[in-house]
Amino acid sequence: MLAAIIGLFGPVLTEDERAFIRDADPAGIVLFGRNVETRAQLRALTDSLREASGRADLPILVDQEGGRVARLGPPEWPAFPPAWRFSALYDKAPISAIEAARANSEALGLLLAEVGINVDCAPVLDLRHAGAHDVIGDRAFGAEPLRVAALGRAMLDGLAAAGVCGVIKHAPGHGRARADSHHELPVVDASEEELAADLAPFQALHNAPMAMTAHLLYRAWDAERPATLSPTIIAEIIRGRIDFEGLLMSDDLGMQALAGSLAERARGAIVAGCDVVLHCSGVLAESVQAAEAAGAISATAADRLARTMECASASSTQSYEALAAKRDALLAYAG
Catalytic residue set = 182, 251
State in Å, rounded, how far the first CA of the chain is from the last one. Answer: 49
Kindly report the number of other CB atoms within 10 A of residue 46's CB atom.
20
Buried b (16+ CB within 10 A) or exposed e, 191-226: eeeebebbbbbbbbbbebbbbbbbbbbbeebbeebb
The answer to whether the bond into 145 is cis (omega within 30° of 0) is: no
CB 217 within 8 A of CB 172: no
DSSP 8: -
Give all strands (DSSP E) within 12-147, no chain letters: 26-31, 60-62, 64-66, 69-70, 119-120
Alpha carbon distance 218, 176 (integer Å): 10
Three-state DSSP at 89 gives helix
What span, in angstroms and rounded, lies between the C-alpha atoms of 311 and 167?
12
Separation of alpha carbons 280 and 263, rounded Å: 14
Q: In one letter, which amino acid is 123?
A: P
Coil, strand, or helix at residue 7? strand
30/40 Cα distance (integer angstroms):
18
